[in-house]
Amino acid sequence: MALSTLRIVWLYPDLLSTYGDRGNLLVLAHRARARGIDVEPMQIRSDQHIPHTADMYLIGGGEDGPQAVAADRLLQDGALSRAAEAGKPILAICAGYQLLGSSFYANGRAYEGLNILDLRSDRGPSRAVGEIAGDSHPQLGIGPITGFENHGGRTHLGEAVQPLARVTAGVGNDGTTEGAWAGHVIGTYMHGPGLARNPRLADLLLGWAIGVDPAQLPPLDDTWPERLRSERFQALQAAAQ
């Protein structure tokens, strides 16, 4: 493998860890270590500088107030934007996803985002809460995805991003598409945590981080995540009937 120690930054646990998205860090660390790669997880609070030396950056979801504070501090710090420009993989969930765009709504007003992804978010007619599923972009090679969503915002994609998936259940960005993807940056509304329910997405990010085609990563026993995924799909199909 191209890399012996994978440094994964989990951003702002003091502001954006309301929805269990730290599980994504645990999943990535487990899947890397199972392939013989050492992992150095780095939890960076909002009063700390973001290291530019990491191999991957994760940012989770949160409520409107902490989301606005997080966006302000990320803009001041600047390191996440530089990481994106350098091609480092970034996984951003829900509030973290919205703040990567040009603007987002929180507490009834618009806030400036980081402009890492070509998208903007506003408010929807109602809160989107429940299971979400979709067919991911074929170029990603990760198949169908599932997660749990809980957000008031709606996201509008610009031309410089691709949707992560076409929605088959739930709302996602706008009821049609879910999440966004450009370069090595992925944003999604999937909590769950998303990577526990979508191991192929986890391996895509790992492959990007270590410079290896994800298909070349040694396979792992994904019986339990696959069972969870098919159970969720069955529940969604039953609910649709």
CA–CA separation, 119 vs 159, rounded Å? 9
**In this structure, are strands 5-11 and 38-44 parallel, antiparallel, or unpaired?**
parallel
Q: Which residue is nearest to ligand GLN (CB)?
A: 61
Q: Which of 52, 94, 151, 184 is catalytic?
A: 94
Nearer to ligand GLN (CB atom), residue 189 or residue 208: 189
Least Å distance, CB 43 to ligand GLN, is 18
Whether residue 191 lies in the annotated active site: yes
Q: Which of 30, 49, 151, 191 is catalytic?
A: 191
Annotated binding site, which residues? 127
In what helix (H) or strand (E) does residue 162 lie, and over which residues does it extend?
Answer: strand 162-169
Q: Write out the residues near ligand GLN by the rule CB under 6 A.
A: 19, 61-64, 67, 94-95, 106, 150-153
Least Å distance, CB 75 to ligand GLN, is 17
Least Å distance, CB 5 to ligand GLN, is 30
Nearer to ligand GLN (CB atom), residue 67 or residue 168: 67
Annotated binding site for substrate, which residues? 127
CA–CA separation, 4 vs 37, rounded Å? 5
Other CB atoms within a 10 A radius of the CB of residue 216 amount to 8
Enumerate residues 6+ apart whose C-beta is below 8 A from 125: none
Cis peptide before 66 (omega within 30 of 0): no
Nearer to ligand GLN (CB atom), residue 152 or residue 183: 152
Least Å distance, CB 81 to ligand GLN, is 20
CA–CA separation, 189 vs 183, rounded Å? 18
Catalytic residues: 94, 191
